[in-house]
Amino acid sequence: MSAKIAAPGLFDAEIMKRASIDAFVKLDPRKLARNPVIFVTEVVSAVVTCFFIRDLLAHNGAAFFSGQIAAWLWFTVLFANFAEAVAEGRGKAQADTLRKTRSDTHAKRLIDPTGASGMKGVYQGVSALELKVGDVVLVEAGDLIPGDGEVVEGCASVNESAITGESAPVIREAGGDRSAVTGGTTVLSDWIRVKITAAPGSTFIDRMIALVEGAQRQKTPNELALSILLAGLTIVFLIVCVTLWPLALYSGTTLSITVLIALLVCLIPTTIGGLLSAIGIAGMDRLIRFNVIATSGRAVEAAGDVDTLLLDKTGTVTFGNRMADEFTPVGGVTEQALAEAVLLASLADETPEGRSIVSLARRTYDVAAPAFGSEVTIVPFSAHTRVSGVDLPGRSLRKGAVDAIVGEASSVPVDFERAVERISRAGGTPLAVAENGRLLGVIHLKDIIKPDIKARFAALRAMGIKTVMVTGDNPVTAAAIAGEAGVDDFIAQAKPEDKLAYIRKEQQGGRLIAMCGDGTNDAPALAQADVGVAMQTGTQAAREAGNMVDLDSDPTKLIEIVRIGKQLLMTRGSLTTFSIANDVAKYFAIIPALFVVAYPELDALNVMKLASPQSAILSAVIFNALIIVALIPLALKGVEYRPVGAAALLRRNLLIYGLGGLVIPFIGIKAIDLIISALHLA
């Protein structure tokens, strides 16, 4: 599969150009107020700029120093904005790709359902923008579906590559869990009537565009908590720097406002403050690259801590439509005779199962349907009778549910009972076939497991996630499917309220639950789960209830979702550790520079042997700005996740980002000091 929502490169030229402009637009204090650390940095940058202008006009020798400090402070603010703009720009580029799927589509709106046209109704050509919720439209082969809706009549093959990137068409039909269609997709064959369920501007594609652009991204609880921590640290260091001024006067040292501001900016957590938004946006961006649309940042974070996954069986673990797998004759009937009877009895069955039975009879037994005359009576399949068939002169053929057919049979052969039991134990669905009340054999309908799903569930197990399959099947059938799929547990004969009760019970025990589903009956569970992943092929109700939509309809996509969730948390934690550890080196650089005149003994703390107080302060400010630039790729790409224990992750985090945050600033500040001294900039 080639993802339609293409992920641009990390440093795409167009994104860089757009982000460079947006970095200046984001200087608007009303926009920066959402980020208290960078907002404070902008305010003090403006103050230092005012001092620079004053010194410059007064021909004060300090103008050169204050001008450099002001320039690097603005550089810090701009690159913090740039990091966020790059992350947002990647989403905007993906949104532009989605917009190309929209056009001024024309629709055939039903205006008279009793008309005399070929589709039993009269239709009016209108623009898709004129459609309202509740309108019914006709979509024929070659037409674009004009809006999100539910199929109310007909069956068609639909190309959804504009949404999913998958070229293989899917079947959409009235009733069941395959009735939802998305505006902008194309009908390839046949026709369908679609009832519009979303007004223009509120369609699935419109919501996707808003989400990938980040327009509706809300801060997650973890992100809010970290923002509060950073704001608290900013206030603490602001108080510290303000109180240093009178303390310095008491000790006989005069500190300039520019120097105090430089100290403040170096001490507050500008590194993580400048990258926090970019980390959150990039986490959702990484999901999009795996063809998953997250409608909630909270869900992305929760995915990192999920320990139980519930999966609806039909359409999630399995393909959903049961397919004919074999014919088993009984009572001395030959396979060829049974295949001929099955074909005749299934010609009026337009369900997916009925079509698969006809296909198997024709493909495997080379049976052809005869030409029927007026003396033949077709008995169409009915959900009420659960039987279909045909009445020929002297022959009455019936095919359907075992209990419905057996109830009309004259006798039940032992081999028939054995065949039914064998198919049921294998997880299949047996259908009986009879002629004039005599049982001829059994059809094995099999719910096909999605390929490679067992290995994927094993990978989830290795990540510490328990998989539970939920199905309405009987326990015997459920056990067979669960064994074949490789899930850890299953819940059989489950009703929607049973799924909901299970999730609530597990959540009360402190577990974080993920739910994958595609049907309307899964909607309550998807809404209750901490991470609700709805399949794109599912119903509108399921897609709206979940907080993620998997465009590939792959239930094991949770592996990627969990990895991205853990990666988001690890990236945020790692860079926070690095940012706070950075301050240690800055203490050794700036504090001696501030008070070495009054207290010569503090020169012992100048372990980096920086050239001068001015050079020390300028070096710390420059390093503080450049480290944000250096960490932008890591914030966007994310810290690599490895499936190891929490203790091992903590040790690795402290070793790399804690120790690295201590050592790198010493090296960086000293290197910058050497350059400044060589160029005589301070």
pLDDT band at 117 (very low <50, low <70, confident <90, very high): very low
User: H/E element holding 16?
Assistant: helix 13-25
Asked if the model's pLDDT at residue 501 lies above 70, the reply is: yes
Alpha-carbon dihedral 617, 618, 620, 622, rounded to 10 degrees? 160
Question: How far apart (Å, rounded) are the C-alpha atoms in residues 665 and 626?
Answer: 11
For residue 655, the 8-state DSSP code is I
DSSP letter, residue 318 = B
Summarize pLDDT for 342-393 with one digit per residue, the tens. 888 887 777 777 888 888 888 888 887 776 666 788 888 776 677 888 888 8
Tell whether residue 421 is among the known ligand binding residues.
no
For residue 506, what are the contacts with CB-CB under 8 A and spacing of at least 6?
Answer: 308, 513
625-634: average pLDDT: 89
- pLDDT of 118 above 60: no
* Residue 656 reports pLDDT greater than 50: yes
Minimum mean pLDDT among 164-168, 281-285, 474-478, 627-631: which range? 164-168
Confidence of residue 110 (pLDDT cuts 50, 70, 90): confident
Q: Which residues pair with 458 in a beta bridge?
A: none
349 labelled ligand-binding: yes
The Cα-based distances of 382 to 347, 405, 434 in angstroms read: 13, 14, 17
pLDDT above 90 coverage of the chain, percent: 8
Alpha carbon distances (Å) from 85 to 16, 17, 23: 9, 10, 6
DSSP state, 143?
Answer: P
pLDDT for 643 equals 67
Q: Is 387 annotated as belonging to a binding site?
A: yes
- Point out the residues that are catalytic: 312
Stretch 162-170: mean pLDDT:
55
pLDDT in tens, 538-590: 766 777 788 888 877 777 777 788 888 888 888 888 888 898 888 888 878 88
Q: Which of the residue ranges 123-132, 163-172, 410-419 has the most confident prediction, judged by mean pLDDT? A: 410-419
According to the model, what pLDDT value does residue 316 have? 66
Pick from 512, 451, 481: nearest CA to 306: 512
- Strands (E) located in 208-365: 292-294, 308-312, 323-329
**Percent share of the chain, pLDDT over 70:** 85
The residue among 320, 277, 348 whose CA lies nearest residue 553 is 320
Q: Cβ–Cβ contacts within 10 Å for residue 512, how many?
A: 18
3-state secondary structure 613-650: HHHHHHHHHHHHHHHHHHHHHHHHHCCCCCCCCHHHHH
Q: What is the mean pLDDT of the chain?
A: 80
> For residue 404, how many other CB atoms are within 10 A of its CB?
15
Q: What ranges make up the beta strands (E) of 331-481? A: 377-379, 387-392, 395-401, 429-435, 438-446, 466-470
- pLDDT tens-digit readout, 36-95: 889 999 999 999 999 999 988 888 778 888 899 999 999 999 988 888 787 777 666 655
Beta carbons within 10 angstroms of residue 97's beta carbon = 17
Out of 87-96, 178-187, 411-420, give the one with best mean pLDDT.
411-420
Q: Is 523 annotated as a binding residue?
A: no
Q: Residue 461 — very low, low, confident or very high, per pLDDT cuts 50/70/90?
A: confident
Amino acid identity, residue 360? Answer: L
418 has pLDDT over 70: yes
Cβ contact 398:379 at 8 Å: yes
> Is 399 annotated as contributing to ligand binding?
yes
Q: How far is CA 128 from CA 112, 146, 199, 210, 290, in A?
A: 18, 5, 10, 20, 30
User: pLDDT, tens digit, for every residue of 199-237?
Assistant: 776 666 666 566 555 544 456 667 778 888 888 888 988
Domains of the chain with bracketed CATH: 13-93+211-288+564-679 (no CATH), 108-146+148-197 (2.70.150.10), 306-317+450-551 (3.40.50.1000), 321-448 (3.40.1110.10)
- pLDDT for 167: 46
Q: Two tokens at 78?
A: 């701009």
Lowest mean per-residue pLDDT among 88-92, 323-327, 593-597, 666-670:
88-92
What is the number of residues in the chain?
A: 682
Average the pLDDT over each of 171-185, 231-245, 574-588 and give the range with the smallest value: 171-185
517 versus 162: the higher-pLDDT residue is 517
Answer whether residue 6 shows pLDDT above 50: no
The answer to whether the annotation marks 353 as part of a ligand binding site is yes
Give the mean model confidence (pLDDT) for residues 239-250. 84
DSSP state of 205: H
Q: How confident is the model at residue 3 (pLDDT cuts 50, 70, 90)?
A: very low
